[in-house]
Structure 1
């Protein structure tokens, strides 16, 4: 029997996102540009929603009973990995960057710094405290790219010195962000003209005012556009299965799921499962010892959790939408927030998010 912690509460305000289908996101109105190709030809329907063909399965270790940790620090500088993990990031998609060059990062640092200072001098509120000035630093995170078509990840930091700091005081990081592409769709990437670089996933952390400025500078400099990147219920289920698969060697400590049910007013259900119980259920739905997690396995796992919950509380979770997944290895929210607390499977997670970003783009 599962060890369950159950709470629910009603939310009084209306939520426009209570009832959404994966099809809504795919068929939403999209603008078109001459340099983009339609992604619809790369998309296939599944019973968990719409994903591109190469991600109808997520990679897990070969042994389902003794998973091996994918140590990203063997191919990426550990100091750079530390910049990416243990923080919560806000997700956006980015259209291809025109005339972006990795060899010009030092120049981009100077230009973005000047742009931020200029906007501040014009009276734009930047809401980051008492700072004397801003300094921007661009760098490359080598090793995350999985194919020759993937552009190397670019990490951006905005630093500032406090008004009362001494000359010896180090500057404080007030904003961070990174642009990445991990296992992007090969057909799409190869179709882009050479003048364009695809880094479709933007992760940001810091004041919204600085995020707006950074996006504005990129749009003016590289003729691109940004948009919010939510994580739908199907992809949250993928993440839950991925993290559960790590439990035998890396204790995930807990599995917390949050559903929103389309009641009036809407009701949130918080469902906490003991990690060993969750692992035993997951192990029971695994079909073989392959490295793939099939759609059917994820579906059976989630349905098993929902059925157990229904037997105890007579509440049908399948009528609602999964909104949040949380373990000690990471957490993710439908609004487009993710925290990767461990380097384990960071490339697999970024592969999933890269695909989400490519599918979200206007075409």
Structure 2
């Protein structure tokens, strides 16, 4: 039995029926561009790089066969504003990021970031001349790329420093004294990565498995192509799984007493015809009371608390989610267990199944990125 707080009657639930799409699929406007790129030498080289990276890392333990951790430390306040550059931190929190995973980078050096800036800028300019990146900004005259290290975010000594990439450009019609504007940004990071995996890598490989991008998909593709050609790595889409979203529901709710989450909003997808989408918003105090009711008692955690600090187990997460679903079922006779969680948001941030993340509170950025780093490491094919 799961305890449901009586005050739980305060909720806001929206149920929306969505019609199924027609079976006719419209051809994307950029399909010609995609076909042209697939025939290019850079694409073939990138594909060979993927195979080459796999062969070079053949002795690496197969951590990708593991599942997400079943226990993790409860979120702690990290005042990274004292460690991380304010402008870099503001940029990381400003945008919604599209996530990808990245295999280890071969011979990537943090000491060569200025050189990488020039090389990537020249690469994008060359692609634009070839017509491959012209869709990005048809009236742009030049691109300026900057690589920078984001110091102060590494969780352990095994983590490589986060790398921030920014692309600026100026229109050919802009005044001479007008500044270039930011048209794309991205970052690569590793926060509290699996130490056994990181230490098993050959010394020439740097692991920054989590890649976030914000801006034109064409520029994102260009940046990824450049990395693949120069550092023998592969990129792939990183969805935020149903289990990871449930972890975020619990982790963010656990932060309520220190940083008011303001709301707990979940979007569920139910596989019926026509498709059913449910928006389920819970009062933050009610969510906290329910979460507090399923947490282990201090006596149960006494054995591990001294060594590791209070932790959160997957059983507690599942009980919390079951409590939320049971409450919903009592009111609407609809079992959310039949569907899947697609989106979760609080005042701390939002996360979507399609791999989009928005971090709104820097104090718990490390907690969120730790979970996402774990997911990226497990998704990697090597």
- Secondary structure of the residue aligned to 2:324 is helix
1:319 maps to what in 2? 338
Return closer, same or farther for 1:129/1:252 CA change in 2, 3 Å cut-off. Answer: farther
- Residue from 137, 140, 145 that aligns with 1:136: 145
Pairwise CA RMSD: 1.9
User: Aligned partners of 2:63 and 2:365: how far apart in 1?
Assistant: 27
| CA distance, structure 1, for counterparts of residue 78 and residue 104 of structure 2 | 29
Q: Is the contact between residue 87 and residue 341 of structure 1 (CA under 8 Å) also seen in structure 2? A: no
Deviates more, 1:299-308 or 1:120-129: 120-129
Q: Please tell me whether the aligned partners of residues 99 and 197 of structure 1 are also in contact (alpha carbons under 8 angstroms).
A: yes
1:244 to 244, 249, 253: 253
Distance 1:309 1:172 in 2: 47
| 1:217 alignment counterpart | 226
How far residue 129 of structure 1 moved from its aligned partner, in angstroms, is 5.1
Distance in 2 separating the partners of 1:129 and 1:13: 36
1:79 corresponds in structure 2 to 87
Q: Within 5 Å, give how 1:200-279 maps onto structure 2.
A: 200-279=209-288
The whole-number CA distance in structure 1 between the counterparts of 2:345 and 2:80 is 21
Pairing partner for 2:15 from 8, 12, 27: 8
Distance 1:288 1:137 in 2: 50
- Note the C-alpha offset of 1:56: 2.2
Q: The residue matched to 1:147 in structure 2 has which SS? A: coil
Aligned to 2:158: 149
Say if 2:107 is the partner of 1:99. yes
Alignment correspondent of 1:336 = 355
Provide the C-alpha distance between the structure 1 equivalents of 2:101 and 2:145, rounded to a whole number of angstroms.
21
Would the aligned equivalents of 2:240 and 2:352 in 1 still touch at CA under 8 Å?
yes
Hey, what's the Cα distance between the residues in 2 that align with 1:39 and 1:74? 37
SS at match of 1:344: helix
- Whole-angstrom CA distance in 1 between matches of 2:124 and 2:136: 13
**TM-score normalised by the chain length of structure 1:** 0.88
| Cα deviation, residue 161, structure 1 | 1.1
Distance 2:276 2:290 in 1: 26
More helix as a share of residues: 2
User: 1:51 corresponds to which residue?
Assistant: 68
Instruction: Return 327-336 or 165-174, whichever deviates more.
Output: 165-174
For 2:333 and 2:296, locate their aligned partners in 1 and report how far apart those are by CA, in whole Å.
29
Aligned to 2:75: 60
Correspondence 1:160-179 to 2 at 5 A: 160-179=169-188
Q: Secondary structure at the match of 2:183?
A: strand
Match among 39, 44, 69 for residue 62 of structure 2 = 39
Residue 164 (structure 1) shift: 2.4
Alpha-carbon distance in 1 for matches of 2:83, 2:371 = 20
d(CA) in 2 for partners of 1:129, 1:271? 42
Q: Give the corresponding residue for 1:24.
A: none
Kindly provide the CA deviation profile for residues 27-81 of structure 1, in whole angstroms up to 9, marking residues without a partner as x.
xxx97433142434872xxxxxx214xx6224224xxxxxxx3211122222221
Q: Which runs of 5+ in 2 are unaligned?
A: 1-6, 23-49, 299-308
CA distance, structure 2, for counterparts of residue 264 and residue 41 of structure 1: 35
- Which whole-Å CA distance do the structure 2 matches of 1:325 and 1:34 have between them? 38
CA displacement 1:271-329 (0-9 Å, x = unmatched)? 01111111111111111455311111111111110000000000000111111001111
1:256/1:272 contact within 8 Å kept: yes
Measured against aligned partners, the alpha-carbon deviations of 1:137-169 in whole angstroms (never above 9, x if no partner) come to 000001111222111100000000122222222
Q: What is the number of residues matched between the two proteins?
A: 334
**Counterpart Cα distance in 1 of 2:64 and 2:352:** 28
* Secondary structure of 2:285 counterpart: helix
